Structure 1
Amino acid sequence: QQGAERAEYGKALLKELSAELTDEFGRGFSRSNLEYMRKFYLTYQDRTVQISQVPPAQFLSAKKSQMPSGKLPESRKSQTPSGKSDSPFALGWSQYVFLIAIDNADERRFYEIEAATNSWSLQELKRQFSSGLYERLALSRDKDGVKQLAAEGQLVTRPEDLLKEPYVLEFLGLDEKARYSESELESAIIDKLEHFLLELGKGFLFEARQKRFTFDEEHFFVDLVFFNRLLRCYVLIDLKIGKLSHGDLGQMQMYVNYFDRFVKLEDEAPTVGIVLCKKKQDALVEITLPKDANIHTREYQLYLPDKELLRRKLAEWGDEVAE
């Protein structure tokens, strides 16, 4: 086919080839699988990648005199601007089948890096893709930050790198239209803590819920307390289901101040506060908090977002940056 996506004789050829390979090597060479193999080659022919699955023994023995299974030839390695070859990564075949269906090369590269470095299962990879993780992270970054996402994945070097918009909590199983309290939301998060940690992102360790501290003979409670080992700082999360108020922001400011002065160690970074709410108000945040406040408001939703809508927002954001 000389590199073309399709050819008139392609389907007939694959059907015949499938039958011959199945007769010689056994299962695993259906026409659809051969189509995936071809697309895999076209997608990764300029990079070095590895397939973590072990091919059938018969297939390995038949290929003894050829290149190592799962690796593309050395001549196919792509060169980075610095002249260095891409670092190889290894994923399962089913993960590659899912990834090659992603048309946007930058988005696909991001999910390759994150799936490999975070040991995502196929189910978790699909969930992160469906939740629009790439778009949600990209929308909170500048142009260089978006390029970095595609080239290196999500790097956490400052508090802003932790943030997403919105946070997607569909795994909690709460009905968007049903009434629920902040304590019920908190309990649902604790019940699904592993999923919530994955949604928060890299480096999070859970410390406590309803963390109590006493100041001036009055008790205060922080909804959720985490520590991020990459930033080496406490991350406090306050949950709000109603309309965000300046009192919510002031309360979080007090929590952050208390942890900075009485809880964190000298070699740890300043505490980060996140008010997770149904509807944030940027104007209220801007007028209430000082510019250097280490406090952020982010929305959450209980359903998977519309990926096409996220993509349109990202495209519009890109046009604004280019102007």
Structure 2
Amino acid sequence: MSNPAQPDHYSGLLQGIGQRLHSARQQAAQTVNTLLVQTYWHIGQHIVEFEQGGNEKADYGSGLLDRLSKDLTALHGKGFSRSNVFYMRKLYLSFQNSETLSHKLSWSHYFEILKADDPLEISFYTRQAALENWSVRELKRQMKSLLFHRLALSKDKQGVLQLASQGHELQQPEDLLKEPFVLEFLNIPQSHVLTETQLEQKLIDHLQQFILELGKGFAFIARQYRMSIGGKHFYADLLFYHRILKCFVVIDLKRGAIDHQDIGQMNLYLNYFAKEENVEGDNQPVGIILGAYKDHFLVEYATASITNNILLAKYLLYLPDKDVLRRQLEKLLLAEQWDEPLAESDSNE
């Protein structure tokens, strides 16, 4: 007997049921994750209150954590390794109010975030992971690439504290800047010399990872975007549109150091986009020049009289040295505290 339902109607029925099931399963998984995080927070609370009662302090590797891990595993099964129990305790200490825990993050997220030593880092990665819906894998990558330190080094002390408490919110072109951008996902050995064309091709081949490194809001438009000016053709390496800032973002790649001529060329590009490409509702375009090196004095003098939004930043083909960035950030905060400028050697470290 043939099915009396029309094929199109049946497909709609099947799709509707599938969407409902998918939504229900997502909600169930989210509920389980939230409950698990809350439970682990309360376990951490029990441990800390046990300490405060004059009992043993639960440092990592202490007899208390080791005993708890073994006994909880014996009584309740998996999930109570010594490291897990240690981070349950740290979860409570880092988030004294359980209501500040994000419902968007799983225990796996918090397990990674709590590996950070600095409370500012913990606060930042918690908020940023929730804001941008990072997977655990992306969170690991951002922490490994020291995103907090790289964003913080482009701000003053108040900006660093705001970054930690609110996450990285894009409100102006300068918020796109990182010091430096890290392109380790290209898997290029340090000793290997690339041409600018080869670097551009590598970024196109790894466009998804590159957009994640650039940050939230970037939409790719074209490579080698042609501009005809005064009978001559000019080509922007990479062109994006930023949906949050509502502006074009032109990226120019430099294999070596950024030169003052590169800044002049970018200024030309931005003037062209402002007059020829912008439509109603678009804000002024932004230019980002990515180079292997930049001279702070050259940047200051070359951009002093330019009104366009031109950002100059270094890129690294490998993960940065955490100790170097940490020292730079500490010096920044110390200089702000004493209201003194950084020494030249510090700013170029």
What's the counterpart of residue 232 of structure 2? 218
Say whether 1:133 aligns with 2:147. Answer: yes
Say whether 1:29 aligns with 2:80. Answer: yes
What's the counterpart of residue 217 of structure 2? 203
Say whether 1:288 aligns with 2:339. Answer: no
Q: Which runs of 5+ in 1 are unaligned?
A: 51-87
What's the counterpart of residue 101 of structure 1? 115
Change in CA separation of 1:262 and 1:5 when aligned onto 2, cut-off 3 Å: farther
Cα offsets for 1:141-177 (capped at 9, x unmatched): 1222111101110011100011011111111111221
Query: Which residue of 119, 124, 128 maps to 1:114?
Result: 128
Say whether 1:2 aligns with 2:51. Answer: yes
Deviation at 1:34, TM superposition (A): 2.8
Cα offsets for 1:56-100 (capped at 9, x unmatched): xxxxxxxxxxxxxxxxxxxxxxxxxxxxxxxx4431212211222
Cα offsets for 1:213-250 (capped at 9, x unmatched): 21222111100001111110001000011332222111
Q: Which runs of structure 2 are paired with 1:1-323 in the superposition (5 Å)?
A: 1-3=50-52, 6=57, 14=65, 17-48=68-99, 88-289=102-303, 290-323=305-338
Change in CA separation of 1:317 and 1:211 when aligned onto 2, cut-off 3 Å: same
Change in CA separation of 1:32 and 1:307 when aligned onto 2, cut-off 3 Å: closer
Percent pairwise identity: 46
Give distance in 1, aligned partners of 2:313 and 2:65: 50
What's the counterpart of residue 75 of structure 1? none
Q: Which moved more, 1:292-301 or 1:253-262?
A: 292-301
Deviation at 1:261, TM superposition (A): 0.3
Counting matched residue pairs gives 285
Deviation at 1:107, TM superposition (A): 1.2
Q: SS of the counterpart of 2:98?
A: coil
The alignment's TM-score, normalised by the length of structure 1, stands at 0.82
Cα offsets for 1:7-40 (capped at 9, x unmatched): 59x9555555545544543322344433332332
Change in CA separation of 1:29 and 1:258 when aligned onto 2, cut-off 3 Å: same
Change in CA separation of 1:166 and 1:18 when aligned onto 2, cut-off 3 Å: closer
The alignment's TM-score, normalised by the length of structure 2, stands at 0.76
Q: SS of the counterpart of 1:225?
A: strand
Q: Which moved more, 1:252-261 or 1:40-49?
A: 40-49
1:49·1:90 contact (CA, 8 Å) conserved in 2?
no
Give distance in 2, aligned partners of 1:175 and 1:31: 37
1:233·1:272 contact (CA, 8 Å) conserved in 2?
yes
Give distance in 2, aligned partners of 1:152 and 1:313: 22
Give distance in 1, aligned partners of 2:136 and 2:319: 17
1:49·1:89 contact (CA, 8 Å) conserved in 2?
no
C-alpha RMSD of matched pairs (Å): 2.2
Give distance in 1, aligned partners of 2:335 and 2:182: 26
Change in CA separation of 1:30 and 1:245 when aligned onto 2, cut-off 3 Å: closer
Q: SS of the counterpart of 1:219?
A: strand
Give distance in 1, aligned partners of 2:251 and 2:232: 20
Give distance in 2, aligned partners of 1:175 and 1:20: 47
Q: Which runs of 5+ in 2 are unaligned?
A: 1-49, 339-349
